[in-house]
Structure formats: C-alpha cells, structure tokens
Structure 1
C-alpha cells in the first residue's frame, strides 16, 4: 500500500485531464473563424473528446485492475500531452478534431485509474472526503479550462494548447518518477489470471442497465450532460444575448470555478455527514436545474456570475457524492465501475454539446431550458430510487430483527 502522499499528484493529474476538455471552449469563435467552419462544428469539436473517452473508458478501467493503476495513468498523461501538441500545430480543422479524439483517449486511461487508485489507498470512512477532493479537482479543471483558455488566448489562439502540452509532459515525468503503484504484484497477477474478459462497451452499457448502480450511472450522465450543455453554448449565448467580451467570459468562468470549488470543499463533507449522500444527490440535481433556468432572466454581469457560481457549486457537490455512492456499490470491481462511470460521463460530453449547438440554432434560450429539463427528470428518477432504497433497507432491518 503506497503512502497517501501520492494523493496530491492524483488531484493534479485529474485536474489536467478535465482542463483539456474545456480549454477550447472560449476560443471556439476564433478557431471557427480561422478555419472557416460553421457554428455546428463547435458542438462536434467539443463532443469529439467525449466520443473516444466513451469508447475506451471501460477497457482502460479493466486494464487498470489487471496491469496496475500507474501504467494507465502514465499512458493517459502522454496522450493528453500529444493531443495538445497536435492542436497547437493543426493547420486544418480536421486535425483539431483528431486532437480532441486523442485527448478523449487520454482521459479514458486517466480518470478511472485515478478513481480506482484512490479507492486502493483509502478506507471506506476516508473515501467520502477523498472523493470530495477528487471531485473538486475534476470540476475545477472542467470549469477553469474555459477561463484559462480565454486568458491565454491573449497571446494567440494556439497558446492555450502549447501551455497545456508543456504541463502535460512535466506531469508525465513526475508520474514516472514519483507515483508508486497502488497494487501489489501479487494482486495484479491474481486479477490477470482470474478476471474474465469483459464484453465490449455497448454490451457493458446494456448490462449496466440491470446493475445495482445503474441509476447512479444515469445521474452521472445527466450531471455531465447539463454541465457540457451549458459550457458548449455559454460563450455564444452571453455574447449574442448580453454582449459579453472574451475577457468577461474568461473572468466569469475563473471566478465561478474558484468560488464553486471552495464551496464544494467546505460544504460537501458537512452536508453528507448531516443528511447522507442520497438526499444530497436529489436536491443538488433539482437546484442545478433551477439555476440553469435563472440564467435566462438577466444580462447583468454580476447577476450572471452569481447564478453561474451557484450552478457550478451544485454540480461540484453532486459529482463526488455520486462517486462515493458508486464506490460503495462497486465492491471488488472498482476499476471496471470507474470505467463505466467515465463512459456515462463521456456520453454526456458527446450529446450535451451536440444538442446544445443544434438547439441554439433554433432558439438561443433552448439549450438552457432543455438542459434544465434533463436535470429535472433526473431529480424525479433520483427521488424514486431513494424511496426504493429506503424500502429495501427497512425490509432488511426487519429481517435482521426477526432473526435476532
């Protein structure tokens, strides 16, 4: 068992993976203009990342169980750096899409391996807090990406990619030299010999529908769908509706990310200890839906910042809470379930931006309204699931009391 001093490195690596997703968002208008692409291309470019992440996540999660967490983390960081180098030197729009596809593969290798690594080095009592910090790293990278991309774009539209690639290469070196493997050789050999070959991703998704953790995976999809739905279209929306500049968009994302992450770190553990994970999930889904609708009510810069900050806060609290519940349900299949987690997150990253772009062409308010609708439906599903879980627990308690 490695020292928990590895934990800060895991947070940094997760931050980098999520950073690459949103980095391109604020510079999309400039990139589209540079390559002569239309508005729908923006949604496809953002979604490309999620496509390969979706296809490779369960495979990578299974491999991390068999061959170790560290090798998959190194592979993920290498692909992350390569994707940014390709984007930085792209001379055609199709190469930007290729870069995003490579980045999705890197995230597929990185994210489930980091989640499984944390499960390896924490007890069940420590896991909620550890997942909270991991969720903060994930959400802040996911949200800071657009803000950082906008600020670096002051030095040119390719500057964000060059900086991100440099940081990625440094992270690879640090990972190779400093990160220990969380699983012993004996455990890896045992799993390599005993674990059956997994079904392909599509069969896994079908099988996951009948699993005990399907509703949690569905919530991961809804959460990511709502966030990417918002992020993909937000720069275009506030520019056309309220006249925001690129600098104002960058400031908005940076400020809201920092405050949202701070709120998550301060509130998540306290809320879950007081109310439990399950009630927090349904309430945060509902509040996220409401905040999306409220973004349509005013173009005042400070109003938009406050409502966006609340939206990010609700999302930041929700993600680690769901991850904690998933880790409890996963048993000895932590890497595999983490891979499915990433696959459902990838589906949200695929469909969220694409639908947002299509709806934006119809009416600029539709993306926010539809995103809120998806989150609202998920709230009702979560409430129903909570009730069924409570009934199961009560029945089990009655059986135990009778047996005593």
Structure 2
C-alpha cells in the first residue's frame, strides 16, 4: 500500500514537473505583453520594435523546434529538455542585465530573447511526445494529461499579465530576470521527478527517419496540415488580440499597471478553464475531438469579427474576447491530443514538433501584424480573421476524418 501511494505521489510530481515547463515558457513570452508600452518609453523604441521583443523569441523557436524534436527522438526527451531550460535561464539574465546596465539595451534584449526562444524550442514541444511515451497505451489518460499540460500553458497566460505588470511596477526590467528564476525552478523539478521510460530499441537512422516522416505526411498530410494551419491561426489571433488589448486598455480605458494586468487576465481565464474542461471531456475520442474543433472554430470566427467595433466599450470588449478565449482554449488541447495520440513513438517527437513550430509562427506574427494594422485597418483585419476562420472550419469538416482515428495500417499518425 505504501509503495502504491509512493508511486502515485511520484506520478503526480512528474506531472507537475512536466506542467511547469509550458508554464515557464508561457510566462517567458506572455508576461512581457502588458509591459511593452513601458519598454517603449524606457528604451525609446517604437510599437513595432517592442513587438519584436515577442517575435524574436518566437522566430528562434520556429526554426529550431523540428531539430529539437528529432534530437529528442534520437537521444531522449530529458537530454534535450534540460539544456534548453538552461538556455532560457541564460537568455533572461542577458536581457535583464542589458536593460539594467546599458543605455541602449534593445539589441541585447533581442539577443537574450532569441536565446530564450532557442530554449523554448527544445523544452515545451518535447512535453507532448513525453506524455505520449508515459501513457502510450491509454488514450483517455493521455488526453487528460495533455489537457492538464495545455491548462498549465493557458494558466501561464492568465498569470502573465498580472505578474508582468506587478514586476514591472517594482522594476521595469524585472520581468526578464523573473523568467530566469522560474526556469531554474523548472530545471530542478525536471531533474528530480521526470523519469523517462527506457527505450526498448534503437531509433531509426537519419535517412530512414526522413523517409518515414515523408511517408507519414504523404499518407496523412491533409488532416495534419489542416491541424498545423489551425494552430497558426489560433496563436496569431490570440497574440494579436492580446497586443491590441494591452495598447487600448491604456490609451482608451485608462487602465495601467497591475489593474490592467488583472483586466487583461479576464479573457485568458476563460481560455484556461475551457482548456482544462476540454482535456477532461475528449477522452481520446477522435469523433468528439472533431466536434470540439468545429464548434470552437465557429465561436472563434464569429467573436473575433466584433473586437474592433466594440473596442471603446470595455464590458462588451471583455465579453467578446472571453468568448474568443473560450474557443481557443477548447481547441488547443484537442489538437494536442489529435496529433500526440495518433503518432507512433519513434516519430512522435518530430511530428509534434512540427505542430508546435506552426503555433510559434502564429505567436511571431500576431504582435507585429497588429502593430501595423491597428491604426488604419483595425476592423478590416478582424473581419478578415473571421473569414479565415470560416475557411479553416470548412477544411476541418472535410479533411479531419473520424474513421480509423486518422490512422493507416502501415503508418499510424
């Protein structure tokens, strides 16, 4: 009985350790969004330049995530995760120290952010295949665990504006250093509690791996690419809307500091709750997953259209963005489960890394695109976002199949 309780306790701490990684990496990016206007004043940069503080992090991750995925398949999940978290820690120190000591710190802030992006590339995406490794024969537990992981990600988004504003109110550059501190906590948790299952056989050689990956995309590419594009779309509108809200809360609604952080967290709280509930609900059922994706795309597409039109009415703005957050929160763990549960272990790290990379494309595009369109083309851009969502809805209805759980006999995906 004591052994059973010990095993359960270790399992819980392993889950906490895994959940800490997306939490830390989300804080590392989203925590800076509410304080970008402060950075603009303190560093003397434009709105577009401040958006690059977010984008530089994401661009580094986009290109390195697939590499990290392959390396995790080849050498092991933990061997890739730990050095990546250390890089994220170092990047935060560089950005924070430059902001503290240099007169013109922008270049070094971006360098530090790029290092953090490299760390994010090798940490967060590897969690998805690691969950699949730990619960390889239990789709229901996999879905539930992925829901918790995605909830940790979204909970980080809820905490981010509050923590970021609170830290910046004390010292404007403190958010950079705090990222290093949170990374250190995650490093300790990973070392102590994550026990990766031993490999029973050697992974395929690089040529064989490339051939098999191409084969997967050739046979199952239609629904995989659809999922990837949906991931880009969701992150683009999420980070674009957050960037917009951070700006308009100050300029139109006179919300500053921690108060602004709490208000910005309202739509993100809906995203967090929705993510957690969906992870519990889908239970590895591909038919249920497809229904969630379809309903959520309808809700996201119809709500994002109105964001610009009601931007001066705070209550309605929060209602609409909360509906958008709920829709995004429901889709994210569903897409995680679709991909993770449908890919055999040897290619799981690589294929899920392509999906994670696609999400970072949306994160990278959101703030700079919004900084360029929100002065003259705000309403048009949100209406266009709604139209793109409808197109993706039609693609999801047509290309995501519920028969055979999106798998083939030769190559499960």
Q: Which residue of 2 aligns with 1:53?
A: 61
Q: Cα gap change, 1:371/1:148 in structure 2, threshold over 3 Å: closer, same or farther? A: farther
Q: TM-score, normalised by structure 1?
A: 0.86
Q: Deviations over 1:224-245 (max 9, x none)?
A: 1111121222211333343333
Cross-structure match for 1:245? 256
Counterpart of 1:176 in structure 2 is: 191
| CA shift in 2, pair 1:151/1:119, >3 Å | same
Q: Deviations over 1:6-47 (max 9, x none)?
A: 112101111111111111111111111222111211222221
Which piece of structure 1 moves more, 28-37 or 268-277? Answer: 268-277
How far did 1:383 drift? 2.3
Q: In structure 1, what is the Cα distance between the partners aligned to 2:261 and 2:303?
A: 20
Alignment partner of 1:288 is 2:327 = no
Match of residue 113 from structure 1 = 126
1:167 is aligned to 2:178:
no
Does the 8 A contact of 2:231 with 2:355 survive in 1? yes
* Correspondence 1:299 to 2:307: no
Aligned length: 387
Matches within 5 A, 1:320-359: 320-332=333-345, 333-359=347-373
- Cα pair distance change 1:372/1:257, threshold 3 Å: same
- Of residues 129-138 and 244-253 in structure 1, the stretch that sits farther from structure 2 once superposed is 244-253
How far the C-alpha of 1:287 sits from its partner, in A, is: 0.8
Name which of 88, 98, 109 aligns with 1:80: 88
CA distance in 2, matches of 1:34, 1:160: 14
Q: 1:68–1:183: 8 Å Cα contact kept in structure 2?
A: no
Change (3 A) 1:285 1:158: same
Change (3 A) 1:234 1:298: closer
Identify if the C-alpha distance between structure 1 residues 365 and 44 changes in structure 2 by more than 3 Å, giving closer, same or farther.
farther
Q: Structure 1 residue 120: deviation in Å? A: 0.7
1:33 to 41, 56, 68: 41
Change (3 A) 1:13 1:393: closer
Write out aligned runs for 1:307-322 (5 A): 307-322=320-335
Gaps of 5+ in 1: 397-404
Asked if the contact 1:119–1:327 (Cα under 8 Å) also holds between the matched residues in 2, the reply is yes
1:43 equivalent to 2:57? Answer no
Aligned pairs (5 A) from 1:72-221: 72-90=80-98, 91=102, 92-122=105-135, 123-180=138-195, 182-187=196-201, 190-191=202-203, 193=205, 196=208, 198=210, 210=221, 212-221=223-232
- CA shift for structure 1 position 132: 1.1
Could you say if the C-alpha distance between residues 82 and 136 of structure 1 is closer, same or farther in structure 2, counting changes exceeding 3 Å?
Answer: same
Distance in 2 of aligned mates of 1:143 and 1:184 = 36
Residue 376 of structure 1 is matched in structure 2 by 390
Structure 2 residue runs of 5 or longer lacking an equivalent are 1-6, 408-413
C-alpha change, 1:334 and 1:95, in structure 2 (3 Å) is same
What residue is the counterpart of 1:401 in the other structure? Answer: none
Measure the CA separation in 2 of the matches of 1:81 and 1:139: 21
Change (3 A) 1:364 1:215: closer
- Equivalent in the alignment of 2:24: 16
TM-score, normalising length: structure 2? 0.84
C-alpha RMSD of the superposition: 3.1
Within 1, Cα distance between the matches of 2:385 and 2:259? 23
TM-fit CA distance, 1:365: 3.8
- Give the C-alpha shift of residue 160 in structure 1: 1.6
Q: Hey, what does 1:265 align to over in structure 2?
A: 276
Segment of structure 1 superposing worse, 39-48 or 60-69: 39-48
Shift of 1:95: 1.2
